[in-house]
Amino acid sequence: MNAITTAFSLAYAYLRERPLATLLNVILLSLGVGTIIALILILTQAEDRMERDVAGVDLVIGAKGSPLQLILSTVFHVDIPTGNIPMAEAQTIISLPQVRRAIPLALGDSYKTFRIIGTEAQYLDLYDAKIASGKMWEKPLEASIGAEVAKLTRLKIGDKFAGAHGLSESGEAHADHPYQVVGILAPTGTVMDRLVLTSLDSIWLVHAHAEADAKAENARKAETAERTESAEPEQDKEVTAYLIQYATPLAAASFPRMVNASSSMQAAAPAMETARLFSLIGVGVTTLKVFAAIMMLCAALGIFIGLMNTLNDRQADLALLRVLGATRGMVCLTIVAQGFALGLAAVILGVFLGHIGGEWMGQAIAKTHRIPLTGWVWVGEEWLVIGAAMALSVLAALFPAWRAYRDAVPEVLSRA
Amino acid sequence: MLVSITDLKAGYGGKTVIAFDRLQIARGQHTLLLGPSGSGKTTLLNILAALATPMTGEISIDNVRVDTLSESQRDHFRGQKIGLVMQRLHLISALSVRDNLLLAQRLAGVQANGKCVNAILEKLGIANKFHVYPHQLSQGEAQRVAIARAVLNSPVMILADEPTSALDDANAEAAIALLFAQAEDHGATLVVATHDARIKSRFKSENVIALKGAA
Ligand SMILES: Nc1ncnc2c1ncn2[C@@H]1O[C@H](COP(=O)(O)OP(=O)(O)OP(=O)(O)O)[C@@H](O)[C@H]1O
Ligand SMILES: [Mg+2]
């Protein structure tokens, strides 16, 4: 124990003697560590988050287009939908025995970038969402809002708000059909926290009027007297998508193919599309990770070269340690301790930087996608990075330590 | 006897540099190893310091058979029993004067004792250099610190290799006086190796061992 503290206090003195080289090595290594940790933090949370958001949805049926876009827009609520599908056609498919549960979603409007979703009560069951205060929506134009929506928009029960057409803030407001908040959901840690939920009827009502108004305008301009009814007939009703849970896992083999082949709609599996998404992101992430790993290797090389250089300068110094009663092992230890101390300093700084970087990235993502990611979490994988950085630093010191170990004191002294 | 050597042969790569049938140094018998360059003074000092092992011979120092010890045992022995002063190489450059002395205590396995260190530096008139780094000291000052360090752990023997050859007359005289005083103070026996005849008069003539080299 005494030998170790002595070795470390010497290592500290030696590192302090060359502050610039020490600083450079620590910064290089900590940047590598920090980059990898920031990536790990964000990716782990994103994956975790997506897994929870998929919430057992086996399949999504929606309009034809990019399957990834369909999943992003209807499961994660980040992209714009591929279009709408006629309810009547979907009905024939969702009534098949392979389907245990089908939840309709109607998208199209938003309030302050929070999406307004027309759906059924069972959508809440997907995420085990509960009403925290107020009640579920019942009548058209009643809405229950997610916890985060409530927090950020400060909407309270009884408040009225107008949805905006489209999913961005710039949409034209449906001012003549304001919604009323009747309930606020408890936080679920899923996408549900960021949604405004209402009945399908509400969506149809708002849009039927909007369309009718638009048609009326056109009609007036064209001077054609044909007037359409203000509400569409039942069989013409449209939704954006159905979230499907299979009755049996076997359905996955043939059901999606059947939908894609035999209908004007498309079926996309969230699990497959998210895997595809991560393999797309993966290329960039891997590049960054490799870059960070190279940075760490360079830092280790820097430690190695630095120690080798000082070895020549300090050969006499190290011999003097032996003269004072230090064993070969002790001399060795002072050099390994330098590698260890550099690694430790870099790891502490790197973990700190990584979490700050993670928080920074998280806030940037949260701003654009409203996905709450943070740097203030601890992920098990970080220990791996820390271990690797420490191992590299100590490894870099081993050869110089062995060189110092080998030196014969009398020869060094006669040269000094 | 403090040092008792028999049948000693020492050298490098099979070539004998020094050979003694018998060499004894009693406690308190301050000894001078005198000889020209290359005569093997340093070679003998290294053996007395247990830094090197002879080709043949039995060496006992302070009743310890040094030649039978393992290398790390010799390191510990040296740290506790022997104080070394060298011609030029004095201090660890990365450590302050005070830390150099504290380090010597720790490496010898002695509890680091700041008071003891301060007292010795004060006695040697370098108390104002406590927190100074070696490169800020003159050669003479650095050597005084090295002498302070050599006596710090109360060794049985102080070995000095050319302690005066880098110094002018006045400083050489001061250094050798200090070595004697410190050796007496700490009850240690002084062994000095030098080709510097200036200090010969300091030693009793029967305690001067003349080396001529084996070749
Ligand atoms: N490491 C070594 N390897 C081989 N030969 C050595 C080594 N060190 C010393 N020698 C040789 O051993 C002989 C004695 O050397 P040593 O250093 O003991 O002499 P010295 O009396 O201390 O000389 P100086 O007064 O110059 O210090 C010399 O001939 C020298 O060349
Ligand atoms: Mg010599």
Give tens-digit pLDDT for A199-241.
999 999 988 866 666 666 665 555 444 444 444 445 578 999 9
pLDDT band at B215 (very low <50, low <70, confident <90, very high): very low
In a mutational test of the B interface, the residue from A12, A314, A318, A323 whose CB has the highest number of chain B CBs within 10 Å is A323
Q: How many residues does chain B have?
A: 215
Rounded to two decimals, the ipTM of the complex is 0.94
C-alpha–C-alpha distance, residues A106 and A81, integer Å: 10
The per-residue pLDDT for A229 is 41
Interface of A with B (CB under 8 A): 2, 6, 10, 13-14, 16-17, 314, 316-317, 319-330, 409-410, 413-414, 416
Q: What average pLDDT does the segment B99-105 reach?
A: 94
Mean pLDDT over the full length of chain A:
90
The per-residue pLDDT for A166 is 84
pLDDT band at B213 (very low <50, low <70, confident <90, very high): low
Give pLDDT tens digits for A328-384: 999 999 999 999 999 999 999 999 999 999 999 999 988 777 777 899 999 999 999
Is residue A347 exposed (0-12), middle (13-18) or buried (19+ Cβ within 10 Å)? buried
Strand, coil or helix: B6? strand
Every domain of chain A and the residues it spans: 2-50+277-415, 59-268
Q: Name the minimum distance, in Å, from the CA of A312 to any CA of chain B.
A: 14
Q: Decide if pLDDT at B195 tops 80.
A: yes
- Chain A residues touching B149 at Cβ < 8 A: 324
Q: Decide if pLDDT at B44 tops 50.
A: yes
The per-residue pLDDT for A365 is 87
**HSE on the CB side for B199, CA within 13 Å?**
34
pLDDT band at A56 (very low <50, low <70, confident <90, very high): confident
Which of B42, B71, B104 comes nearest A324 by C-beta?
A: B104
DSSP conformational letter for A191: G
Torsion angle (degrees, nearest 10) of CA A364, A117, A50, A189: 80
Tell me the range of A186-190, A343-347, B161-165 where mean pLDDT is highest.
A343-347
C-alpha–C-alpha distance, residues A204 and A385, integer Å: 52
- Contact between A268 and A276 under an 8 Å Cβ cutoff? The reply is no
The per-residue pLDDT for B127 is 84
The per-residue pLDDT for A235 is 56
Phi first, then psi: give them for residue A386, nearest 5 degrees: -60, -45
